[in-house]
Amino acid sequence: MSAPPNSWQAVQDEVLRRIHSRDWAPGETIPTEAELARELGCARATVNRALRGLAEAGLLERRRRAGTRVAALPVRHARLRIPILRHEIEALPARYGYELLSRRMAAPPGDLRAAPGAPPGDMLYLEAVHRADGAAFAHEARWLNVGAVPAAADTDFTALSANEWLVRNVPVSEGRIEFLAEAASPDEARLFGCAIGTALFRADRRTWNEGRLITFVRQTFRPGYRLETRI
């Protein structure tokens, strides 16, 4: 439980202790790296590693020349794992099932066409269900830019989900996700065996690589689904 006396973690713990004890109050400037290194009897690089971590966590604010201050209102960050659905279902645990419902080239809706890096013409539309022990777990509606991912045109996605195929085959430089709640459509209600209008958890994800839109996917989860994360 206790780190070696001169480790960067020990330094981090000590700094955290001083913050929590209000020894260093929010907004206050703390000693410089050199001073802390002298006081704690370690190298400056060690202090730097410790403080850098706390700055990334939002607890400290660092600026050259101005020094390091305790954040007045620490913005908490949570780290969200984005597993592929197969892994999430197998971890339940449950037997994973996948079924492709639709695959065709089509014109994407206007808001998607207006997205940065979107192609001018048609995109590949894929619709699929992910099942847990046979029951629908998540519905997936995806638009795929075959211009940016030519290999996708030769893949039928009946055996391997686009979800997993993309993770394995396409590098992604940037992504944006939105989580929201929405009422079940008639199709979704049928799929999940729930009433029309039932509140469903949804994730809209867009990913880009080098400025080109790769895919937009809307995943809708079965009633009762919860997305968990830790701070």
Binding window for its own copies (CB under 8 A); candidates: 3-11, 78-86, 126-134, 142-150: 78-86
Cβ(155)–Cβ(126) under 8 Å? Answer: no
Site for its own copies in 8-27 (CB under 8 A): 19-20, 26
Distances (CA, A) of 122 to 58, 191, 204: 43, 27, 20
Question: Which residue's CB is nearer to DNA, number 27 or number 121?
Answer: 27
Determine the Cα–Cα distance for residues 90 and 209; give it in Å rounded to an integer.
Answer: 29
Which does residue 8 touch among DNA, its own copies, none (CB within 5 to 8 A, set by kind)?
Answer: DNA
Determine the Cα–Cα distance for residues 42 and 53; give it in Å rounded to an integer.
Answer: 17
Q: How far is the CB of 176 from DNA (least distance, A)?
A: 25
Distances (CA, A) of 215 to 101, 102, 135, 145, 153: 18, 16, 26, 6, 13
Site for its own copies in 89-148 (CB under 8 A): none
Binding window for its own copies (CB under 8 A); candidates: 67-75, 124-132, 138-146, 151-159: 67-75
Which does residue 41 touch among its own copies, DNA, none (CB within 5 to 8 A, set by kind)?
Answer: DNA
Question: Which residue's CB is nearer to DNA, number 72 or number 107?
Answer: 72
Q: How far is the CB of 16 from DNA (least distance, A)?
A: 15
Tokens standing for residue 196: 């029309």
Which residues is 132 bridged to in the sheet? 96, 135
Q: How far is the CB of 227 from DNA (least distance, A)?
A: 29
Determine the Cα–Cα distance for residues 143 and 206; give it in Å rounded to an integer.
Answer: 10
74 cis-preceded (ω within 30 degrees of 0): no
Which residues is 63 bridged to in the sheet? 67
Out of 180, 187, 190, 193, point to the residue binding its own copies (CB under 8 A): 180
Residues engaged in binding DNA (CB under 7 A)? 4, 6-10, 32-34, 41-46, 48-49, 51-52, 55, 62-68
- From the list 63, 62, 58, the residue with the least C-alpha distance to 73 is 58
Q: How far is the CB of 50 from DNA (least distance, A)?
A: 8
Residues contributing to the site for its own copies (CB under 8 A): 19-20, 26, 72-84, 87, 164, 167-168, 171-172, 174-183, 197-202, 204, 207, 224-231
